[in-house]
A and B are shown apart, each in its own frame.
Chain A
Amino acid sequence: MNALVAELWPYLLLLLVGYLPNEIWRALGLVLSRGLDEDSELVVLARAVATAIIAGVIAKLILFSTGTLAAIPLPVRIAAAVCGFLAFLGVRRSVFVGVATGEAVLLLGGYIFGR
């Protein structure tokens, strides 16, 4: 019995402190989007808020990296993001070209300047 509890405990934790606190925001969105038109002003505002949050997440991941990415110096990470973005703008607004360029700059810079 105790062995079974020990086996299932991580799964119970996953549901209680992972699934529920995360899913509640999707459920709230589902309820509150009822009756909204795709062109309504509230939807435009919601999109602006979501876009700003995602932008904030992106900037934080690049500037305040943790784990293995933190071993690559900050100027290299910023240069990689800027080069990737410029490549995207320059080459037919291709996401693939932008991401590949950014990754290549990061790999090269990390190889030369990394710890």
Chain B
Amino acid sequence: MSTPAEPPAISSAFFRGVKSAVTSVFFLVLLGTYIGIGALAHDYGFSPWWLALSTIVVWASPAQVILISSLGTGAALIEVALAVTLSAIRLFPMVVALLPLLRSRTTRSRDLLLPAHLTAVSMWVESLRLLPAMPAEQRVAFCNGLGVGYQTTAVVFGFAGYYLAAGLPPLLAGTLLFLTPMSFLISTARNSRQLVDRLAFGLGLVIGPLLTLNQVGLDLMWTGLIGGAIAYGIHRLRRVTK
């Protein structure tokens, strides 16, 4: 397949995306997370190539952890698919919030296929932070660079974890696993500049565990709907009263 030569501004935007990816805090997060997932895949007897492919096509660490641990213990396939799809619901509002930032007058729909697939917490958080300051026609290329940079990092450290497996002392392994919630906590807080985002963030932190403690089914979906709706409602009320 030959593609027409791209203007230099576009390809340099792609490489700036890659550079942003490997110099952001998420580089360390993915390093830790995927070393952990690599070790998990090793424990459950998957091949390292299977793990690499799952990182490329699934590209969501919670779904991959579910997939590996449930397939590995022989759960019913429909149960596995259901658990994966529930964990992935968050991708829907993320894509809906991200793509309008990427769409300019010259954007074709197929240009958005790759950014939609590459959408994951790391890429989403960094895109929402960095895109607004960028010219509209460079945003798709930048996002693709960011996503490809993150995904490559994840694949490489998945292999590393696979071969390191079992060699790590438990405390160190636990510290690596803690990288995910710790960095998500802080980077999401940093990104929440408007009141509506801060409210949604705070509400989610409280509602999520409360629903889990009360063993409510589909707890994350409800956390999003309840927390998001309350935050949005307050945002609308303030605008009306202003």
* Chain A residues in the interface with B (C-beta under 8 A): 10-11, 13-30, 32-34, 36-38, 40-65, 67-69, 71-72, 77, 80-81, 84-85, 88, 93, 95-96, 98-99, 102-103, 106-107, 110-111, 114
Contact = CB atoms under 8 A, between A and B. Distances in A.
A30 to B, nearest CB: 4
Interface string B45-73: 01100100110011010111001000100
A27 B208 CA distance: 26
B186 interface: yes
A63 B171 CA distance: 17
Interface stretch (B14-22, B151-159, B194-202): B194-202
B100 A99 contact: no
Contact of B90 (A44, A50, A81): A50
A69 B97 contact: no
Nearest to A49: B228
B55 to A, nearest CB: 11
A33 B67 contact: no
Main secondary structure of the interface of B (DSSP, over half): helix
B208 A57 contact: yes
B81 interface: yes
Main secondary structure of the interface of A (DSSP, over half): helix
B175 A107 contact: yes
Contacts of A55: 188, 200-205, 208, 223, 227
Given A29-B99, A51-B192, A56 B178 contact: no
Given A22-B91, A30-B95, A84-B185, A48 B77 contact: no
B117 A56 contact: no
16 contacts: A13-B71, A25-B91, A25-B92, A33-B99, A38-B101, A42-B96, A52-B203, A52-B223, A52-B226, A57-B184, A60-B209, A72-B178, A80-B178, A85-B185, A95-B25, A110-B174
Contacts of B29: 99
A17 B178 contact: no
A30 B201 contact: no
A9 to B, nearest CB: 11
Given A29-B91, A77-B178, A21 B189 contact: no
Residue picked from A40, A47, A64, A111, most chain B C-beta under 10 Å: A47
A18 B57 contact: yes
